[in-house]
Amino acid sequence: MDAMGGGPPSARAVLVVMFTVLTVFYAARATEVCLSAHAPHLLMSVGMLYMALPVGWQLLPLASWVAVFGVASGWCVVRTKRRWQRDHHFDVDFAHSELAGCVAMTAMLPLFTIAALDAAALPLTIALGTYFLAYTVFWAWRAGGGGAALLGLTRTRTEAVAQMAMGAGMAYMFLVM
């Protein structure tokens, strides 16, 4: 079983390198700043790396990954709700980045591994791929310094570039693979 059904081998190599770098980056950020602030992206980068490795699907069953990302999605919903209740502020940055990513990862794994879902899942796959293309453009804009005052975002330029890379990798996997 291999989630990377389409695309050239060179694309897989680029994705493996990119998701390895992202995993190291988010692990460092989690230890430097705050694990809860970076745990969802660390988990997503590990999951994406896992999906890009040809032998990854032989290590853990699909149900394990779906459970992990399902729990992560639930944790993100609870965190977003608690912040809303505490501050009466909807954290767009967190919801756009961590929550959407965990929900997409929960959907992505079955979409790529259960053959019976191929035709039925095409609209969802295209919608998620398009979302992550827009996500990539948004973070490219942020990496260039756009929107900080308008949106109240506090990510550093390096974090914005990491978000952009994550979005580009997820868009590629949804739309090409």
73 domain-assigned: no
167 domain-assigned: yes
93 domain-assigned: yes
Q: Render each residue's pLDDT in the chain as its tens digit; 177 residues.
A: 345 556 788 888 999 999 999 999 989 988 887 777 778 888 888 888 888 887 766 677 778 878 888 888 888 788 778 877 888 777 666 666 777 777 777 777 677 666 556 677 778 888 888 888 888 888 888 777 665 554 445 567 788 888 889 889 888 888 886
How confident is the model at residue 104, as a pLDDT? Answer: 78
122 domain-assigned: yes
SS3 (DSSP) at 145? coil
Q: What tens digit of pLDDT does each residue of 74-105 get?
A: 887 887 788 778 887 776 666 667 777 777 77
Other C-beta atoms closer than 10 Å to the C-beta of 13 total: 11
1 domain-assigned: no
Residues in the chain: 177
Q: What tens digit of pLDDT does each residue of 3-20 get?
A: 555 678 888 899 999 999
d(CA 101, CA 77) in angstroms, rounded, equals 12
Could you tell me how far CA 6 lies from the centroid of its own chain? 19
pTM for the complete prediction?
0.77
70 domain-assigned: no
Place of tokens 């009466």: 88
Other C-beta atoms closer than 10 Å to the C-beta of 114 total: 12
74 domain-assigned: no
d(CA 163, CA 169) in angstroms, rounded, equals 10
Do residues 136 and 171 lie in contact, with contact meaning Cβ atoms separated by under 8 Å? yes
Where in the sequence is the domain holding 142, given as residue range(s)? Answer: 9-57+81-175
User: What would the two tokens of residue 58 be?
Assistant: 């032989």
Do residues 93 and 151 lie in contact, with contact meaning Cβ atoms separated by under 8 Å? yes
Do residues 5 and 108 lie in contact, with contact meaning Cβ atoms separated by under 8 Å? no
Number of domains in the chain: 1
64 domain-assigned: no
Output the CA–CA distances (angstroms, integers) from residue 112 to 101, 105, 142, 163, in the order listed.
16, 11, 30, 22
